[in-house]
Copies of this chain bind each other. A is one copy, B any other.
């Protein structure tokens, strides 16, 4: 009854604003959605068509607007995107509209607020999506992506590197650069845009809108669609990192550019490396005629060269409908190696990588000498399983000889870069011992920054280049040339320093 009154008052509000809303044709707009709308969603659209017309129009073009959940459940397995077997009855025969997502589980979302008679939350989370897509959410929760916030911010080594990147410097009275304390804003506006921020509600505020004064929650750490976002309902991740709201286009989600939002470099150059590969040449030239929207992709027909999603996530079938690899939202299941890092190793056994401890107590899957921390890494069987998953993708277009040789070359690149990083680390340790730099913060002084770039930019590029056949990145594009150069530069700095260092100070 109370709600009915509120709804009435909204209607009144809307009528009052006739001058503002010169022409609004709700019939037209809802007519485009072929699935029936819930009454709640109809109410959302009646106003949001005016205040955020872009969202409404995008959603109207989405699969969510065009098919009911009941219809989706009836699709044959290879064509079905919904993974739930049962969905609450109220969702069955309507489009997945505004209210269906933004009013679920109101008591669990700390950002729920009263809005025109509805209990609405701003930040839709994986928990909301899990109503229809539980398998995908479960897979995702087990991946490093879901834990990307903690894997950066609770890992003291990487946190210190991140802090060194984002901090403000000041000139002390003695003319020395000193680091200022960092705050949430420093991280939220840089690293955490990809890793995901902690989204917190810090009270409510009144805002002037086209429909008069309204109260909205004050959100900190927002806007953010990082892959490991810590949501106001405690869940981890943001499906909209890839499934861009509000048309949730598979074409957009599967497009390399979407991965490239975060994997572009110079620190994680996956996208750039892909872009110089033969695969990408085909993608760029031919993908306008590919079929991006099918849940299961027929190799050689729906696409003629792999993109990021093809190798790491998508479900592939042959033209007879046999499944080659199953869809996954845990990218680790096709990743035998962890290429990123000072050293590359087999992949880490668990998704919360910050929980590793090597012999020095550092959260790294190797010793500083390069020795892998076997206890933290996947075992032989898992390694072979993941390698086999990945090779199944390759083998659908390439002969065994080619595929095996390719992965031998990757192994060669891993060994090469690991050996060179051992060398870089030895030079760094020598610089510390001789007093050229202080190891208190191993990331901030000139020779230390050279060392950081040696692995973060150059060895990573070489490894990604070998992994994805983008050989520019093995060679002159942040590759071996730059790695060699930075090693020579580190040695040269040491030499110059030792030349001018007073003799007695030497150990």
Contact = CB atoms under 8 A, between A and B. Distances in A.
Interface string A464-491: 0010010110111101110011011101
A169 B423 contact: yes
Contacts of A402: 222-223
B300 A58 contact: yes
A266 interface: yes
A406 interface: yes
A281 B300 contact: no
A165 B476 contact: yes
Interface string A160-180: 000011111111000111000
Contact of A171 (B276, B423, B471): B423
A322 interface: yes
A255 interface: yes
A390 to B, nearest CB: 15
Given A223-B402, A304-B247, A477-B264, A488 B444 contact: yes
B222 A285 contact: no
B484 A169 contact: yes
Residue picked from A53, A166, A400, A485, most chain B C-beta under 10 Å: A53
Contacts of A500: 499-500
Contacts of A449: 485, 488
Interface string A170-207: 11000111000000010011110110000000000001
Residue picked from A190, A257, A397, A489, most chain B C-beta under 10 Å: A190
Contacts of A430: 175
Contacts of A320: 22-25, 28
Oligomeric state, in copies? 3
Interface in A487-507: 487-489, 491-492, 499-500
A219 interface: yes
A177 B487 CA distance: 8
A265 B477 contact: yes
Residue picked from A60, A251, A266, A276, most chain B C-beta under 10 Å: A276
Given A177-B488, A193-B471, A456-B476, 9 more contacts: A53-B396, A54-B396, A55-B397, A58-B397, A189-B471, A223-B398, A249-B282, A288-B288, A446-B492
5 contacts: A55-B398, A57-B319, A165-B480, A176-B491, A257-B281
